[in-house]
Protein backbone atom coordinates (compact mmCIF):
# COMPACT_ATOMS: atom_id res chain seq x y z
CA UNK A 1 0.00 0.00 0.00
CA UNK A 2 3.01 2.26 -0.31
CA UNK A 3 2.72 4.52 -3.33
CA UNK A 4 -0.42 4.98 -5.40
CA UNK A 5 -3.30 2.82 -4.15
CA UNK A 6 -3.93 -0.01 -6.60
CA UNK A 7 -5.83 -3.29 -6.84
CA UNK A 8 -4.02 -5.56 -9.25
CA UNK A 9 -5.34 -8.75 -10.80
CA UNK A 10 -3.03 -11.71 -11.41
CA UNK A 11 -2.41 -10.32 -14.89
CA UNK A 12 -1.37 -6.94 -13.49
CA UNK A 13 -4.49 -4.96 -14.43
CA UNK A 14 -5.41 -2.20 -11.97
CA UNK A 15 -9.12 -2.46 -11.13
CA UNK A 16 -9.22 0.10 -8.31
CA UNK A 17 -12.21 2.47 -8.46
CA UNK A 18 -11.60 5.97 -9.79
CA UNK A 19 -13.10 8.14 -7.06
CA UNK A 20 -10.85 9.10 -4.16
CA UNK A 21 -13.42 8.25 -1.48
CA UNK A 22 -14.01 4.76 -2.85
CA UNK A 23 -10.28 4.12 -2.82
CA UNK A 24 -10.10 5.66 0.65
CA UNK A 25 -12.80 3.27 1.83
CA UNK A 26 -10.80 0.30 0.56
CA UNK A 27 -7.64 1.65 2.21
CA UNK A 28 -9.46 1.92 5.53
CA UNK A 29 -10.69 -1.68 5.26
CA UNK A 30 -7.29 -2.99 4.18
CA UNK A 31 -5.60 -1.56 7.27
CA UNK A 32 -8.06 -2.93 9.83
CA UNK A 33 -7.07 -6.03 11.76
CA UNK A 34 -9.76 -8.32 10.32
CA UNK A 35 -10.30 -6.45 7.04
CA UNK A 36 -13.73 -5.35 8.25
CA UNK A 37 -15.33 -2.22 9.69
CA UNK A 38 -18.75 -0.99 10.79
CA UNK A 39 -20.71 1.04 8.28
CA UNK A 40 -21.16 3.90 10.74
CA UNK A 41 -17.39 4.15 11.33
CA UNK A 42 -16.73 4.31 7.59
CA UNK A 43 -19.36 7.04 7.26
CA UNK A 44 -17.69 9.05 10.02
CA UNK A 45 -14.26 8.64 8.43
CA UNK A 46 -15.26 9.69 4.91
CA UNK A 47 -18.44 11.79 5.27
CA UNK A 48 -18.07 13.29 8.74
CA UNK A 49 -19.50 16.62 7.55
CA UNK A 50 -22.83 15.06 6.53
CA UNK A 51 -25.86 13.87 8.46
CA UNK A 52 -26.48 10.18 9.11
CA UNK A 53 -28.92 9.62 6.22
CA UNK A 54 -26.81 11.52 3.70
CA UNK A 55 -23.63 9.76 4.87
CA UNK A 56 -25.35 6.38 4.65
CA UNK A 57 -26.47 7.14 1.09
CA UNK A 58 -22.95 8.22 0.11
CA UNK A 59 -21.55 4.99 1.54
CA UNK A 60 -24.00 2.89 -0.48
CA UNK A 61 -23.02 4.73 -3.66
CA UNK A 62 -19.32 4.17 -2.93
CA UNK A 63 -19.90 0.44 -2.40
CA UNK A 64 -21.76 0.25 -5.72
CA UNK A 65 -18.90 2.02 -7.50
CA UNK A 66 -16.35 -0.35 -5.97
CA UNK A 67 -18.30 -3.42 -7.09
CA UNK A 68 -18.60 -2.02 -10.62
CA UNK A 69 -14.85 -1.38 -10.73
CA UNK A 70 -14.03 -4.86 -9.41
CA UNK A 71 -16.21 -6.48 -12.07
CA UNK A 72 -15.58 -10.23 -12.04
CA UNK A 73 -13.81 -9.79 -8.71
CA UNK A 74 -16.77 -8.10 -7.00
CA UNK A 75 -16.82 -10.94 -4.46
CA UNK A 76 -13.74 -9.38 -2.83
CA UNK A 77 -16.07 -6.84 -1.22
CA UNK A 78 -18.81 -8.04 1.11
CA UNK A 79 -21.32 -6.10 3.17
CA UNK A 80 -24.33 -6.57 5.40
CA UNK A 81 -26.52 -4.14 7.33
CA UNK A 82 -23.81 -3.53 9.95
CA UNK A 83 -20.41 -4.39 8.46
CA UNK A 84 -18.35 -3.90 5.32
CA UNK A 85 -15.49 -6.33 4.76
CA UNK A 86 -12.88 -7.63 2.33
CA UNK A 87 -12.69 -11.34 1.52
CA UNK A 88 -9.22 -12.45 2.74
CA UNK A 89 -9.25 -15.76 0.86
CA UNK A 90 -8.75 -14.16 -2.56
CA UNK A 91 -6.80 -11.08 -1.53
CA UNK A 92 -3.15 -10.35 -0.78
CA UNK A 93 -2.34 -6.98 0.76
CA UNK A 94 1.12 -5.64 0.04
CA UNK A 95 2.17 -3.10 2.64
CA UNK A 96 6.00 -2.90 2.65
CA UNK A 97 8.13 -0.67 4.82
CA UNK A 98 7.54 2.80 3.34
CA UNK A 99 11.04 3.52 2.16
CA UNK A 100 10.61 4.81 -1.33
CA UNK A 101 6.96 5.81 -1.51
CA UNK A 102 4.22 7.52 0.46
CA UNK A 103 1.60 5.34 2.16
CA UNK A 104 -1.46 5.46 -0.17
CA UNK A 105 -0.23 8.56 -1.99
CA UNK A 106 -2.50 10.75 -4.07
CA UNK A 107 -5.66 10.29 -1.97
CA UNK A 108 -6.88 13.88 -1.82
CA UNK A 109 -9.93 13.42 0.42
CA UNK A 110 -11.14 16.61 2.07
CA UNK A 111 -12.59 15.13 5.22
CA UNK A 112 -10.94 16.03 8.54
CA UNK A 113 -11.48 12.57 10.01
CA UNK A 114 -9.88 10.79 7.06
CA UNK A 115 -7.05 13.34 6.90
CA UNK A 116 -6.26 12.79 10.58
CA UNK A 117 -6.29 9.00 10.09
CA UNK A 118 -4.03 9.21 7.04
CA UNK A 119 -1.51 11.51 8.75
CA UNK A 120 -1.35 9.22 11.77
CA UNK A 121 -0.91 6.14 9.55
CA UNK A 122 1.96 7.81 7.73
CA UNK A 123 3.59 8.94 11.00
CA UNK A 124 3.32 5.40 12.36
CA UNK A 125 5.04 3.94 9.32
CA UNK A 126 7.66 6.67 9.41
CA UNK A 127 8.39 5.89 13.07
CA UNK A 128 8.62 2.18 12.25
CA UNK A 129 11.08 2.88 9.47
CA UNK A 130 13.28 5.11 11.64
CA UNK A 131 13.32 2.55 14.43
CA UNK A 132 14.28 -0.30 12.11
CA UNK A 133 17.05 1.74 10.53
CA UNK A 134 18.36 2.82 13.94
CA UNK A 135 18.38 -0.81 15.11
CA UNK A 136 20.13 -1.96 11.95
CA UNK A 137 17.13 -4.08 11.05
CA UNK A 138 16.39 -2.62 7.65
CA UNK A 139 19.05 -4.52 5.68
CA UNK A 140 17.91 -7.82 7.19
CA UNK A 141 14.33 -7.12 6.19
CA UNK A 142 15.38 -6.37 2.66
CA UNK A 143 17.52 -9.47 2.43
CA UNK A 144 18.67 -10.35 -1.06
CA UNK A 145 16.62 -7.53 -2.57
CA UNK A 146 18.84 -4.76 -1.22
CA UNK A 147 20.16 -2.93 -4.28
CA UNK A 148 23.79 -2.45 -5.13
CA UNK A 149 24.95 1.17 -4.75
CA UNK A 150 24.94 2.92 -8.10
CA UNK A 151 28.39 3.89 -9.34
CA UNK A 152 29.98 5.72 -12.26
CA UNK A 153 33.49 5.84 -13.66
CA UNK A 154 34.74 8.84 -15.63
CA UNK A 155 36.93 8.02 -18.61
CA UNK A 156 38.80 11.02 -20.00
CA UNK A 157 40.56 10.89 -23.35
CA UNK A 158 43.95 11.67 -21.75
CA UNK A 159 44.53 14.35 -24.36
CA UNK A 160 48.15 15.11 -25.20
CA UNK A 161 47.34 18.81 -25.53
CA UNK A 162 47.78 20.34 -22.01
CA UNK A 163 44.87 22.78 -22.42
CA UNK A 164 42.46 20.04 -23.51
CA UNK A 165 43.67 17.72 -20.76
CA UNK A 166 43.11 20.44 -18.13
CA UNK A 167 39.72 21.21 -19.66
CA UNK A 168 38.57 17.58 -19.45
CA UNK A 169 39.92 17.08 -15.92
CA UNK A 170 38.23 20.23 -14.65
CA UNK A 171 34.92 19.32 -16.30
CA UNK A 172 35.05 15.86 -14.71
CA UNK A 173 35.90 17.31 -11.28
CA UNK A 174 33.00 19.77 -11.45
CA UNK A 175 30.45 17.16 -12.49
CA UNK A 176 31.71 14.69 -9.87
CA UNK A 177 31.30 17.35 -7.18
CA UNK A 178 27.72 18.08 -8.22
CA UNK A 179 26.90 14.36 -8.26
CA UNK A 180 28.33 13.98 -4.76
CA UNK A 181 26.26 16.91 -3.47
CA UNK A 182 22.91 15.66 -4.72
CA UNK A 183 23.07 11.90 -5.37
CA UNK A 184 24.35 8.93 -3.39
CA UNK A 185 26.42 7.57 -6.26
CA UNK A 186 30.00 6.28 -5.97
CA UNK A 187 32.31 8.09 -8.40
CA UNK A 188 35.53 6.48 -9.68
CA UNK A 189 38.40 7.46 -11.91
CA UNK A 190 39.27 5.22 -14.83
CA UNK A 191 42.65 4.70 -13.13
CA UNK A 192 41.04 3.13 -10.07
CA UNK A 193 41.52 -0.61 -9.53
CA UNK A 194 38.26 -0.92 -7.53
CA UNK A 195 35.66 0.06 -10.13
CA UNK A 196 32.54 -2.16 -9.77
CA UNK A 197 31.65 -4.22 -12.82
CA UNK A 198 28.17 -2.68 -12.80
CA UNK A 199 29.45 0.91 -12.94
CA UNK A 200 28.14 3.29 -15.58
CA UNK A 201 30.91 4.63 -17.80
CA UNK A 202 30.99 8.33 -18.65
CA UNK A 203 33.32 8.98 -21.59
CA UNK A 204 34.63 12.54 -21.87
CA UNK A 205 36.47 13.45 -25.08
CA UNK A 206 37.52 16.89 -26.28
CA UNK A 207 39.08 18.06 -29.50
CA UNK A 208 40.03 21.32 -31.15
CA UNK A 209 37.19 21.99 -33.58
CA UNK A 210 38.44 25.42 -34.71
CA UNK A 211 41.41 27.68 -33.89
CA UNK A 212 39.47 29.31 -31.04
CA UNK A 213 37.00 26.52 -30.24
CA UNK A 214 36.93 23.23 -28.35
CA UNK A 215 34.24 20.58 -28.72
CA UNK A 216 33.40 18.27 -25.84
CA UNK A 217 31.56 15.00 -26.37
CA UNK A 218 30.15 13.05 -23.44
CA UNK A 219 28.70 9.54 -23.68
CA UNK A 220 27.05 7.63 -20.81
CA UNK A 221 26.95 3.83 -21.12
CA UNK A 222 25.70 1.06 -18.88
CA UNK A 223 28.06 -1.79 -18.04
CA UNK A 224 26.25 -3.75 -20.77
CA UNK A 225 27.45 -1.10 -23.28
CA UNK A 226 23.90 0.15 -23.72
CA UNK A 227 24.08 3.85 -24.51
CA UNK A 228 22.11 6.01 -22.09
CA UNK A 229 22.95 9.53 -23.27
CA UNK A 230 25.29 11.29 -25.67
CA UNK A 231 25.75 14.94 -26.51
CA UNK A 232 28.37 17.31 -27.88
CA UNK A 233 28.91 20.95 -27.01
CA UNK A 234 31.14 23.57 -28.65
CA UNK A 235 32.87 26.24 -26.57
CA UNK A 236 35.04 29.23 -27.48
CA UNK A 237 38.50 29.09 -25.90
CA UNK A 238 39.53 32.76 -26.02
CA UNK A 239 43.15 31.76 -25.46
CA UNK A 240 42.54 29.53 -22.42
CA UNK A 241 40.67 26.41 -21.36
CA UNK A 242 37.00 27.50 -21.01
CA UNK A 243 36.51 25.80 -17.64
CA UNK A 244 34.25 28.59 -16.32
CA UNK A 245 32.12 28.89 -19.45
CA UNK A 246 28.46 28.95 -18.44
CA UNK A 247 27.47 26.80 -21.41
CA UNK A 248 29.95 24.18 -20.25
CA UNK A 249 28.57 24.23 -16.71
CA UNK A 250 25.01 23.94 -18.03
CA UNK A 251 26.18 20.98 -20.13
CA UNK A 252 27.47 19.29 -16.97
CA UNK A 253 24.11 19.83 -15.28
CA UNK A 254 22.35 18.28 -18.28
CA UNK A 255 24.62 15.24 -17.97
CA UNK A 256 23.67 14.79 -14.30
CA UNK A 257 19.96 15.15 -15.07
CA UNK A 258 20.21 12.50 -17.79
CA UNK A 259 22.06 10.07 -15.52
CA UNK A 260 19.71 10.59 -12.59
CA UNK A 261 16.59 10.30 -14.75
CA UNK A 262 17.80 7.03 -16.23
CA UNK A 263 18.57 5.59 -12.80
CA UNK A 264 15.14 6.71 -11.60
CA UNK A 265 13.50 5.04 -14.61
CA UNK A 266 15.27 1.76 -13.83
CA UNK A 267 14.14 2.04 -10.22
CA UNK A 268 10.44 2.29 -11.06
CA UNK A 269 8.49 -0.67 -9.78
CA UNK A 270 11.28 -1.78 -7.45
CA UNK A 271 9.56 -1.18 -4.13
CA UNK A 272 12.52 -2.64 -2.23
CA UNK A 273 14.89 0.02 -3.53
CA UNK A 274 16.38 1.80 -0.53
CA UNK A 275 18.61 4.39 -2.18
CA UNK A 276 17.91 7.54 -0.17
CA UNK A 277 19.06 9.89 -2.91
CA UNK A 278 16.37 8.64 -5.29
CA UNK A 279 13.72 8.89 -2.60
CA UNK A 280 14.90 12.47 -2.20
CA UNK A 281 14.74 13.02 -5.93
CA UNK A 282 11.15 11.78 -5.94
CA UNK A 283 10.48 14.31 -3.20
CA UNK A 284 12.02 17.20 -5.13
CA UNK A 285 9.86 16.39 -8.16
CA UNK A 286 6.82 16.57 -5.88
CA UNK A 287 8.00 19.85 -4.33
CA UNK A 288 8.24 21.52 -7.71
CA UNK A 289 4.83 20.23 -8.76
CA UNK A 290 3.59 23.12 -6.58
CA UNK A 291 0.50 21.13 -5.56
CA UNK A 292 -0.38 21.19 -1.83
CA UNK A 293 -0.91 17.45 -1.40
CA UNK A 294 2.29 16.65 -3.30
CA UNK A 295 4.32 18.96 -1.06
CA UNK A 296 3.07 17.18 2.04
CA UNK A 297 3.98 13.86 0.45
CA UNK A 298 7.41 15.28 -0.41
CA UNK A 299 7.97 16.19 3.22
CA UNK A 300 7.32 12.60 4.27
CA UNK A 301 9.60 11.27 1.54
CA UNK A 302 12.40 13.55 2.72
CA UNK A 303 11.88 12.33 6.28
CA UNK A 304 12.17 8.77 4.96
CA UNK A 305 15.32 9.59 3.00
CA UNK A 306 16.93 11.17 6.05
CA UNK A 307 16.05 8.14 8.17
CA UNK A 308 17.97 5.98 5.69
CA UNK A 309 20.90 8.35 5.11
CA UNK A 310 21.30 11.33 7.47
CA UNK A 311 22.54 13.84 4.89
CA UNK A 312 21.95 17.54 5.39
CA UNK A 313 20.54 17.94 1.89
CA UNK A 314 17.26 16.30 2.91
CA UNK A 315 16.84 18.72 5.83
CA UNK A 316 17.64 21.70 3.60
CA UNK A 317 15.04 20.66 1.05
CA UNK A 318 12.43 20.34 3.81
CA UNK A 319 13.18 23.93 4.84
CA UNK A 320 12.90 25.05 1.22
CA UNK A 321 9.60 23.16 0.98
CA UNK A 322 8.20 25.15 3.93
CA UNK A 323 9.26 28.37 2.22
CA UNK A 324 7.36 27.35 -0.91
CA UNK A 325 4.25 26.55 1.14
CA UNK A 326 4.45 30.05 2.62
CA UNK A 327 4.81 31.80 -0.74
CA UNK A 328 2.10 29.63 -2.28
CA UNK A 329 -0.21 30.32 0.68
CA UNK A 330 -0.99 26.65 1.19
CA UNK A 331 -3.51 26.05 3.95
CA UNK A 332 -1.17 23.46 5.49
CA UNK A 333 1.39 26.17 6.33
CA UNK A 334 1.22 27.26 9.97
CA UNK A 335 3.44 29.55 12.02
CA UNK A 336 4.92 26.47 13.70
CA UNK A 337 6.27 25.52 10.26
CA UNK A 338 8.38 28.68 10.29
CA UNK A 339 10.06 27.58 13.53
CA UNK A 340 10.46 24.06 12.16
CA UNK A 341 12.16 25.45 9.06
CA UNK A 342 14.61 27.43 11.22
CA UNK A 343 15.58 24.23 13.03
CA UNK A 344 15.91 22.38 9.74
CA UNK A 345 18.19 25.11 8.36
CA UNK A 346 20.38 24.96 11.45
CA UNK A 347 20.63 21.15 11.39
CA UNK A 348 21.30 21.07 7.64
CA UNK A 349 24.17 23.54 8.01
CA UNK A 350 25.69 21.52 10.84
CA UNK A 351 25.45 18.31 8.82
CA UNK A 352 26.78 19.67 5.51
CA UNK A 353 28.39 23.12 5.83
CA UNK A 354 30.26 22.75 2.52
CA UNK A 355 27.50 21.35 0.34
CA UNK A 356 26.56 24.09 -2.13
CA UNK A 357 23.02 22.78 -2.57
CA UNK A 358 22.43 22.82 1.19
CA UNK A 359 23.71 26.40 1.41
CA UNK A 360 21.58 27.54 -1.53
CA UNK A 361 18.37 25.94 -0.21
CA UNK A 362 18.96 27.35 3.27
CA UNK A 363 19.71 30.79 1.79
CA UNK A 364 16.38 30.81 -0.02
CA UNK A 365 14.43 29.60 3.03
CA UNK A 366 16.05 32.15 5.37
CA UNK A 367 15.10 35.01 3.05
CA UNK A 368 11.54 33.90 2.32
CA UNK A 369 10.56 32.88 5.85
CA UNK A 370 12.57 35.33 7.95
CA UNK A 371 13.45 38.17 5.58
CA UNK A 372 17.13 37.70 6.40
CA UNK A 373 18.75 39.32 3.38
CA UNK A 374 22.29 39.29 4.81
CA UNK A 375 22.18 35.57 5.60
CA UNK A 376 20.76 34.80 2.16
CA UNK A 377 23.44 36.83 0.40
CA UNK A 378 26.33 35.35 2.38
CA UNK A 379 25.14 31.76 2.05
CA UNK A 380 24.40 32.12 -1.66
CA UNK A 381 27.83 33.61 -2.34
CA UNK A 382 29.53 30.79 -0.43
CA UNK A 383 27.44 28.28 -2.36
CA UNK A 384 28.60 29.79 -5.66
CA UNK A 385 32.23 29.67 -4.53
CA UNK A 386 31.85 25.97 -3.76
CA UNK A 387 29.96 25.15 -6.96
CA UNK A 388 29.44 27.90 -9.57
CA UNK A 389 27.23 25.57 -11.64
CA UNK A 390 24.46 25.50 -8.99
CA UNK A 391 21.41 27.37 -10.39
CA UNK A 392 19.66 27.61 -7.01
CA UNK A 393 22.67 29.46 -5.59
CA UNK A 394 22.56 32.08 -8.35
CA UNK A 395 18.77 32.35 -8.01
CA UNK A 396 19.04 32.95 -4.25
CA UNK A 397 21.76 35.56 -4.74
CA UNK A 398 19.64 37.31 -7.37
CA UNK A 399 16.74 37.66 -4.93
CA UNK A 400 19.04 38.94 -2.18
CA UNK A 401 20.47 41.57 -4.51
CA UNK A 402 16.98 42.78 -5.38
CA UNK A 403 16.41 43.50 -1.70
CA UNK A 404 19.67 45.46 -1.47
CA UNK A 405 18.85 47.53 -4.56
CA UNK A 406 21.54 45.97 -6.78
CA UNK A 407 19.10 45.40 -9.60
CA UNK A 408 21.52 45.02 -12.51
CA UNK A 409 23.64 42.53 -10.55
CA UNK A 410 20.46 40.68 -9.59
CA UNK A 411 19.46 40.40 -13.24
CA UNK A 412 22.90 39.02 -14.13
CA UNK A 413 22.59 36.37 -11.40
CA UNK A 414 19.04 35.44 -12.45
CA UNK A 415 20.11 35.06 -16.07
CA UNK A 416 22.91 32.69 -15.00
CA UNK A 417 20.49 30.65 -12.90
CA UNK A 418 18.13 30.41 -15.88
CA UNK A 419 20.91 29.23 -18.19
CA UNK A 420 22.37 26.73 -15.70
CA UNK A 421 18.95 25.27 -14.89
CA UNK A 422 17.67 25.09 -18.45
CA UNK A 423 18.03 21.29 -18.61
CA UNK A 424 16.22 20.64 -15.32
CA UNK A 425 12.47 19.94 -14.93
CA UNK A 426 12.26 23.17 -12.91
CA UNK A 427 12.83 25.64 -15.73
CA UNK A 428 9.68 27.50 -14.67
CA UNK A 429 11.36 28.38 -11.34
CA UNK A 430 14.40 29.95 -12.98
CA UNK A 431 12.20 31.73 -15.54
CA UNK A 432 10.24 33.30 -12.69
CA UNK A 433 13.45 34.42 -11.03
CA UNK A 434 14.45 36.28 -14.17
CA UNK A 435 10.93 37.67 -14.46
CA UNK A 436 11.44 39.40 -11.10
CA UNK A 437 14.72 40.99 -12.07
CA UNK A 438 13.48 41.98 -15.54
CA UNK A 439 10.63 43.91 -13.92
CA UNK A 440 13.08 45.71 -11.63
CA UNK A 441 15.36 46.90 -14.43
CA UNK A 442 12.48 48.22 -16.51
CA UNK A 443 12.16 45.34 -18.97
CA UNK A 444 8.44 45.02 -18.37
CA UNK A 445 7.57 43.13 -21.56
CA UNK A 446 10.38 40.64 -20.96
CA UNK A 447 9.07 40.15 -17.44
CA UNK A 448 5.55 39.50 -18.76
CA UNK A 449 6.83 37.03 -21.35
CA UNK A 450 8.79 35.14 -18.68
CA UNK A 451 5.79 35.09 -16.33
CA UNK A 452 3.63 33.65 -19.10
CA UNK A 453 6.23 30.98 -19.90
CA UNK A 454 6.66 30.09 -16.23
CA UNK A 455 2.89 29.75 -15.83
CA UNK A 456 2.62 27.61 -18.96
CA UNK A 457 5.31 25.24 -17.66
CA UNK A 458 3.82 25.05 -14.15
CA UNK A 459 0.11 25.99 -14.04
CA UNK A 460 -0.09 25.43 -10.25
CA UNK A 461 2.75 27.88 -9.52
CA UNK A 462 1.13 31.06 -8.20
CA UNK A 463 3.81 33.83 -8.35
CA UNK A 464 3.71 34.14 -12.18
CA UNK A 465 -0.03 34.82 -12.01
CA UNK A 466 0.47 37.49 -9.35
CA UNK A 467 3.05 39.22 -11.51
CA UNK A 468 0.88 38.92 -14.59
CA UNK A 469 -1.93 40.68 -12.72
CA UNK A 470 0.33 43.51 -11.59
CA UNK A 471 2.20 43.92 -14.87
CA UNK A 472 -0.82 43.70 -17.14
CA UNK A 473 -2.72 46.17 -14.95
CA UNK A 474 0.24 48.56 -15.02
CA UNK A 475 0.20 48.29 -18.82
CA UNK A 476 -3.51 49.05 -18.93
CA UNK A 477 -4.31 45.56 -20.25
CA UNK A 478 -7.35 44.91 -18.05
CA UNK A 479 -8.57 41.86 -19.99
CA UNK A 480 -5.26 40.02 -19.60
CA UNK A 481 -5.07 41.02 -15.94
CA UNK A 482 -8.57 39.63 -15.32
CA UNK A 483 -7.61 36.40 -17.07
CA UNK A 484 -4.76 35.98 -14.58
CA UNK A 485 -7.08 36.91 -11.68
CA UNK A 486 -9.49 34.15 -12.69
CA UNK A 487 -6.71 31.57 -12.85
CA UNK A 488 -5.28 32.61 -9.49
CA UNK A 489 -8.69 32.47 -7.80
CA UNK A 490 -9.04 28.87 -8.98
CA UNK A 491 -5.84 28.04 -7.09
CA UNK A 492 -6.37 30.49 -4.22
CA UNK A 493 -10.12 30.84 -3.50
CA UNK A 494 -9.68 33.71 -1.02
CA UNK A 495 -7.67 35.82 -3.47
CA UNK A 496 -8.92 39.29 -4.28
CA UNK A 497 -7.43 42.42 -5.81
CA UNK A 498 -8.19 44.22 -2.54
CA UNK A 499 -6.12 41.70 -0.60
CA UNK A 500 -3.28 41.90 -3.09
CA UNK A 501 -3.22 45.69 -2.80
CA UNK A 502 -3.96 46.27 0.89
CA UNK A 503 -2.86 43.14 2.78
CA UNK A 504 0.81 43.75 3.57
CA UNK A 505 1.29 40.07 4.47
CA UNK A 506 0.28 38.96 0.97
CA UNK A 507 3.45 37.68 -0.78
CA UNK A 508 3.96 40.35 -3.45
CA UNK A 509 6.62 42.41 -1.68
CA UNK A 510 8.75 42.69 -4.81
CA UNK A 511 5.83 44.12 -6.78
CA UNK A 512 5.32 46.70 -4.04
CA UNK A 513 9.00 47.59 -3.88
CA UNK A 514 9.10 48.02 -7.65
CA UNK A 515 5.95 50.21 -7.51
CA UNK A 516 4.13 47.90 -9.88
CA UNK A 517 1.08 47.59 -7.64
CA UNK A 518 -0.89 50.44 -9.18
CA UNK A 519 -3.79 50.56 -6.73
CA UNK A 520 -6.16 52.61 -8.87
CA UNK A 521 -5.54 50.55 -11.99
CA UNK A 522 -5.78 47.23 -10.13
CA UNK A 523 -8.97 48.11 -8.27
CA UNK A 524 -10.48 49.47 -11.47
CA UNK A 525 -10.30 46.13 -13.26
CA UNK A 526 -12.63 44.56 -10.66
CA UNK A 527 -15.30 47.23 -11.06
What is the domain-level CATH number for residue 254?
3.40.50.11830
Give which of 368, 311, 378, 380 is closest to 341, Cα–Cα: 368
Query: 59 and 162 share a domain?
Result: no
Query: 171 and 231 share a domain?
Result: yes
Query: 255 and 158 share a domain?
Result: yes
Query: 101 and 160 share a domain?
Result: no
CA atoms within 13 A on the CB side of 49: 6
Spatial strand order in the sheet of 213-221: 186-189, 151-156, 200-210, 213-221, 227-236
| DSSP state string for 1-63 | -BSB---B-TT--B---SSHHHHHHHHHHHTSTTSEEEHHHHHHHH-TTS-HHHHHHHHHHHH
Q: What is the CATH classification number for the domain harbouring 471?
A: 1.25.40.10
For 83, which DSSP code?
A: E
Q: 501 in a domain, yes or no?
A: yes
Give the pairing of strands 151-156 and 200-210: parallel
3-state secondary structure of 80: coil
Query: 134 and 162 share a domain?
Result: no
Query: 135 and 156 share a domain?
Result: no
Gap between the Cα atoms of 458 and 214, Å rounded: 36
3-state secondary structure of 107: coil
- The pLDDT of residue 4 is 67
- Positions of the chain with pLDDT lower than 50, given as ranges: 97-100, 136-147, 271-273
From 240, 267, 294, the end of a domain falls on 267
Q: 200 φ, ψ to 5°?
A: -75, 140
Q: Where are the alpha helices (DSSP H) in 71-152?
A: 112-134, 138-142
Query: 46 and 106 share a domain?
Result: yes
Query: 124 and 170 share a domain?
Result: no
Chain CA centroid to CA 165, Å: 36
Query: 103 and 203 share a domain?
Result: no
Q: 356 in a domain, yes or no?
A: no
Give the pairing of strands 83-86 and 151-156: unpaired
This prediction's pTM = 0.74
- The pLDDT of residue 128 is 55
Q: 235 in a domain, yes or no?
A: yes
Gap between the Cα atoms of 409 and 432, Å rounded: 16
Query: 132 and 156 share a domain?
Result: no
Query: 129 and 51 share a domain?
Result: yes
For helices 407-420 and 427-440, give the axis angle rounded to 10 degrees. 160
Q: 283 in a domain, yes or no?
A: no
Find the radius of gyration of the CA atoms of the chain.
26
Q: 454 in a domain, yes or no?
A: yes
Q: 461 in a domain, yes or no?
A: yes
From 267, 290, 315, the end of a domain falls on 267
Q: What is the CATH classification number for the domain harbouring 62?
A: 1.10.10
From 267, 289, 311, the end of a domain falls on 267
**Cα end-to-end distance, the chain, whole Å:** 51
Give which of 329, 361, 358 is closest to 499, Cα–Cα: 329
Domain count, the chain: 3
Q: 351 in a domain, yes or no?
A: no
Other CB atoms within 10 A of residue 16 CB: 17
Query: 125 and 180 share a domain?
Result: no
| CA 406 vs CA 243, 332, 398, 413: distances in Å | 27, 34, 9, 11
Q: 296 in a domain, yes or no?
A: no
Q: What residues make up the domain containing 48?
A: 20-139
Amino acid sequence: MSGRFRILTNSGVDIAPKSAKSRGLLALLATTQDLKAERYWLQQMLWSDRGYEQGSSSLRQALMEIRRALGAYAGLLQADRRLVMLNPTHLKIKDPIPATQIFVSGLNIRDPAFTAWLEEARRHRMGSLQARVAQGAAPAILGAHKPVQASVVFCGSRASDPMRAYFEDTFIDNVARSIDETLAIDVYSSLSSEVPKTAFKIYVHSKTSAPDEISLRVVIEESSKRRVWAQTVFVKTRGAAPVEDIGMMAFGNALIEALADYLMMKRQGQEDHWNASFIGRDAIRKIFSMQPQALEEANTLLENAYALDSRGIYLAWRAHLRAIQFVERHSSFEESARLEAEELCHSAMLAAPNNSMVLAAVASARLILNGNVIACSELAQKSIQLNPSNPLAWDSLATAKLYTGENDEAHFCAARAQKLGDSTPYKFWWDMGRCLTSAFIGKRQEALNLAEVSHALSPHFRPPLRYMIGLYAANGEAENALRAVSKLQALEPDFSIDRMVNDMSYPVSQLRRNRLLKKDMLLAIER
